Each structure stands twice: as C-alpha cells, then as structure tokens.
Amino acid sequence: MVEPEHDLTEPAMRAHVLRKYGKSNTVLAFEERESPTLGPGEVRVDVEVAALNPVDLKTREGEPKMLLPFAPPLVLGCDLAGKVIAIGSDVTTLRVGDSVYAYAGMDRMGAFAEHVVLPADRVARRPAALSAEEAACLPLPGLCALAALDAGKVDKGSRVLVHGGVGGVGGIAVQLASQRGAEVFATVGTSDLERARAIGVSQPIDYRTQRFDDAARDMDFVFDTVGSDTLKRSWRVVKRGGVVASLHVPPPADQLVAAGLRAPWILRLLLPLITRGAYAGAAKAGARLVPILSVPSAAGLERIARAAESTTLRIAIDKVFPFDALGAAFDHLESGKARGRIVLKRG
C-alpha cells in the first residue's frame, strides 16, 4: 500500500529537457516541469547524483532515435543515485528514505532531473561501501558487465580477455571477473598498465605497443567493448567452444522489443545484414557470439551491490559538475580527455 504519511502529488522539479535532436548543447534546456506521475509498482526518487554515459551523448544527437519509444521533448539520463521519497501501491522491496541507485533504462530515461519515477524492479539499495557519486556510475556499466560475464559463464580458472580494461564497462567487468577467480587479460593504454593491475588484471596488454592477438591465446571468454577491428581480431584468441560478448553487435529484434525499445520493419530487415560478418567470424572460430544489451534490473543491481560490499569496487570519477551544468559535462565527455566517469551532483 502507499504510505499515507507521504505526499504523493506530483511536485515540480527542474530537469534537463532535450527539445530536439542535435550535435550542440543548444538543443538542451534546464527548466521546471512537473514530476512524472507515480503509479502502482513504482517509486519516486530524489536524484542526488546522475552519471553520464556515452549513450546519453548519442541520444542527444539522435543516433538511437529509431529504437526509442518516444520522441523529444524528453528528459535525458540513465544512471543515478538518490533517495526514495514516495512509493506506489504494491511496492514491498523499498521504503521511503532508502538510499538507492538505478539504471532507468533507454525506454524510460529521466535521470537528469531532480526527481525520477521508475518501476521498483529497476531500483536497488545503494551499496553502503560506495558514495552516491560512485554508486551513480555503476548501474549501466555494471549491468552490461554482469550480463557479459554471465553469458560467458566466467568462473574460477576462466581465461578472460577484456578489451578496454579500465573503461567504464571494461573496468567493472575486470573487477567482477577477478572476484570470480578468473585469470584476467585486458587491453589498456600505456599510462594505464599499473591502474589495470590494481583492479585485478593479471596480464595487462599495452595496445599501443602490442597486438593482443599475439599476447593472448585460448581465451574462454572475450569481452569486446571497442568493436570494429578489435572484434574481428578477437576470433583469433578465443578457443573453440568459447564465447565473445560484444557491445558493438546489435542484438536481435526480439531482445530490443523485450527491453521496451522499438524494432521497426526496416531495422528487422537490416539487422541480419549488419551482423552477418560478426556471426560468420564466430562460426569460423567455433565460438559463440553474444550481443550485450543492458536491461534494467534491481536483481542485477543487488548482485553488483553484494560484489561491491565483499570487495570494494573501484570507480574512477574524473569530474563532478553542478547539476545544472549538463552542457559543460557533455563538452568534457566529447573532448575525450576524461580519465574516468563524469557526474552531475545536486548541491
């Protein structure tokens, strides 16, 4: 039941609204609007910190617009940490006042606002070992990494190669794989070799001076967070019967629909053509290709929280911007200079 001592009316809030798709921040407006309506099975979260992901920038530019079940004006943002301020009927897993974190999902978004309303099954209690800033950086990358490692059945003794081993997704995958007892190889830049070892990489590979397909062999699992030529060369290092998971191969249409996204007929027509080369590479290598699509999941976030509590996950934060400075934060993300995550924090 709804807790009657809390006001469930829709309070006003400020939010970063995408007015139309575009490559400059002039398409954004930070303005007051009504908080979304709270329905059964949902919670309203007061957002303390929201983290930027590359997909937020791509959404501003309209790259995934064919998939989205809505059009501008819309509120951007997927990753957040905050406090539950109201619960709808039928919510039993969370209480008002809980410190939580969440991946809103591409079918909802809305994290770049003072309040967000989400299904309770997308929201989990924040790991006590992490600050709000660190927790906000974890949901989307963490769920991606978890899905990939589960697909590869990574366990004690598994030989694992993670491309982009200190990146947002890759860095979490390395740490979770190391916790499972895997032997972790990872491609990183020259300046990140020690950082990679510190988070659990036993065999860092400097991609600037080494070819990973010379340094790694007979991998049980390869996680491709880079795409393009990196994926093509990964078939040389995965063993027969192994798994390559990729963030850069589109998932099947039915997976998109199951995640609340659209799969129009033109996309259904093109997907087999777009992915044909990747699946041919997998068949030739005698391996399995798994496209990774992150899906909101409180259960997944609870697993990640347990991992964070058992061995504190290291989250690299590059810069914290005031909550009203999304444009400046996007500029920093676009610059390519960030060595860690970028967050918006309310004062």
- Residue ending a domain, among 276, 291, 306, is 291
What pLDDT score does 8 carry?
Answer: 54
Give me the count of residues in the chain: 347
3-state secondary structure of 176: helix
What pLDDT score does 1 carry?
Answer: 38
Q: Does the residue 5 lie in any domain? A: no
Q: Does the residue 305 lie in any domain? A: no
d(CA 184, CA 181): 9
Along the 347 residues of the chain, how does pLDDT read in single tens digits? 344 334 456 778 999 999 999 999 999 999 999 989 999 999 999 999 999 999 999 999 999 999 999 999 999 999 999 999 999 999 999 999 999 999 999 999 999 999 999 999 999 999 999 999 999 999 999 999 999 999 999 999 999 999 999 999 999 999 999 999 999 999 999 999 999 999 999 999 999 999 999 999 999 999 999 999 999 999 999 999 999 999 999 999 999 999 999 999 999 999 999 999 999 999 999 999 999 999 999 999 999 999 999 887 899 999 999 999 999 999 999 999 999 999 999 98
Residue 262 sits in the same domain as residue 189: yes
Residues spanned by the domain of 264: 140-291
CATH of the domain at 81: 3.90.180.10
Residue 129 sits in the same domain as residue 118: yes
Residue 156 sits in the same domain as residue 252: yes
Q: Residue 122 carries which DSSP code?
A: G
Residue 104 sits in the same domain as residue 232: no
Asked if 343 and 137 touch (Cβ cutoff 8 Å), the reply is: yes
Residue 95 sits in the same domain as residue 169: no
- Could you give the angle at which helices 139-151 and 168-179 cross, rounded to 10 degrees? 50
Computed on alpha carbons and rounded to an integer, the radius of gyration of the chain in Å comes to: 20
Q: Does the residue 296 lie in any domain? A: no
What pLDDT score does 9 carry?
Answer: 62
d(CA 326, CA 244): 35
Residue 219 sits in the same domain as residue 206: yes
Q: Does the residue 298 lie in any domain? A: no
d(CA 241, CA 282): 10
Q: What is the count of structural domains for the chain? A: 2
CATH of the domain at 149: 3.40.50.720
Read off the tokens for 63.
């790259």
Residue 338 sits in the same domain as residue 247: no
Residue 70 sits in the same domain as residue 173: no
d(CA 206, CA 224): 16
Burial of 275 (0-12, 13-18, 19+ CB in 10 A): middle
Q: Does the residue 303 lie in any domain? A: no
Q: Does the residue 264 lie in any domain? A: yes
Residue 144 sits in the same domain as residue 65: no
Distant-in-sequence, close-in-space partners of 70: CB < 8 Å, separation ≥ 6: none
Residue 69 sits in the same domain as residue 123: yes
Q: Does the residue 337 lie in any domain? A: yes
What pLDDT score does 311 carry?
Answer: 81
d(CA 130, CA 321): 19
Please list the residues that pair with 289 across neighbouring strands.
244
Q: Residue 113 carries which DSSP code?
A: B
Q: Does the residue 105 lie in any domain? A: yes
d(CA 332, CA 338): 7
What pLDDT score does 185 carry?
Answer: 98
Residue 159 sits in the same domain as residue 224: yes
Residue 151 sits in the same domain as residue 134: no
What pLDDT score does 11 carry?
Answer: 77
